[in-house]
Structure 1
């Protein structure tokens, strides 16, 4: 991937940071985007320590203009776009379907689903000339139902459908589009979800047949592999990285 350019959203921490760093390990130039610009800059510093270059951008993916500017700045500075990992997202508030507020529904859908669509809307045209690969970070909540998080579950099911549609549209044009559906990964999001309650965390772990939470680096490995030539005949797939959660 030496000399290739990768855009990573949600790159300030967790899966996004691990993915940005792993792309850099393989020689890619990194655009680290996040609403948390301090965190994105910290990621960029790690990339520079690996001997690679890139830039950090403050981007709210639910804002179409900011997403368009992110891609335009990428092309203006680096001249190309080869890979994208559309990872940014939020979990929203927990509530049963009738109790989910309109505000929570709109916010989660706007960021997770509409934001992922905005990213692809502006990434794909820049990849047409030379080809490329996109990985959307979905969730096991995009494969099965989860009570208490209707907006989040709907947004992730939507991402999987969007992934398959774009994959079909561009399969003959040199662009591959896949999604990763992580289980519970040890990230700040899971820390917020499970909180300090040890019992809740243990119950979450127990739902994974492998008996542990996943690591951000394990999802990053899958994302980089899906963008590599080793996965050159794979498109439109939803890959569960979930320790066996969805097998049962």
Structure 2
């Protein structure tokens, strides 16, 4: 595992799912964590407990990434308590049910872009002044929808393509300050976002009451490797690598963690 001892990481969307696993894995590697989320206090407290249980410090704060002032307050308080910021994981995102592009509601479009794109921009604005003191790493969590187009998902696909462009611009702007910027693109991840009845029905429209096993067969057929989804820790491992000195000369690039989904002929 990469050595992140002495580092401080900001993670948005940290209360549950892959966001919590990012925090856990960063702590395993030695980093202290500033955990940010807009969800239930009890869920965020669970992340704090997980980080502290690994022998690391954790500052948590309730903030919606759409609210720049609130986000800046949480990050500044955490940086003051923990001694700065070295790593930023822009993980917070939403996936609203899709439709043909011309049938998407204005609200679905706006909410998706507000969180998935503007929220990442806000995350950078809230953290870059702390990062620029010593250099560091920004990792944006994209999606395989940021690599290819997907029907009935224009709002989500556009947001994930957009953060790639944002990352490329940031890599050019922040390189002289020794700040690296990269994107990790997960495929399907085995969290509640995928493992739920609504997703099973969408994946298996011809089955009356599809099960997880039914959905897993569909997803496995889409991948080169014989698995239906990657585990959250697989994404977190990529984040830890890109955040570490082992990736010290990697910037402006994209790392796809998708079991071969985007390469399947």
TM-score range (shorter-chain normalised) is over 0.9
What residue is the counterpart of 1:26 in the other structure? Answer: 29
Query: How far apart, CA to CA, are the structure 2 residues paired with 1:149 and 1:69?
Result: 33
SS in 2 for 1:190: coil
> In the alignment, is residue 218 of structure 1 matched against residue 221 of structure 2?
no
State TM-score, norm by structure 1: 0.96
Instruction: Select which of 138, 144, 147 maps to 2:148.
Output: 144
Gaps of at least 5 residues in structure 2 are: 202-209
Structure 1: state its 5+ residue gaps: none
Partners of 1:39 and 1:31 in 2: CA distance: 15
The CA distance in 2 between the partners of 1:35 and 1:201, in whole Å, is 30
2:97 to 63, 80, 93: 93
Larger radius of gyration: 2
**2:205 is aligned with 1:205:** no
Cα separation, 1, equivalents of 2:43 and 2:189: 19
1:163 — aligned with what?
Answer: 167
Per-residue deviation, 1:15:
1.4
Give the superposition deviation at 1:184: 0.3
- TM-score normalised by length of structure 2: 0.90
The offset of 1:231, in angstroms, is 0.3
RMSD: 1.3
Q: Give the distance between the partners of 2:59 and 2:130, measured in 1 at CA.
A: 18
Instruction: Give the length in aligned residue pairs.
Output: 248
Say whether residues 1:62 and 2:77 are aligned partners.
Answer: no
Q: Which moved more, 1:152-161 or 1:55-64?
A: 55-64
**Counterparts of residues 35-184 of structure 1 (less than 5 Å):** 35-36=38-39, 37-184=41-188
Q: 1:194 maps to which residue?
A: 199
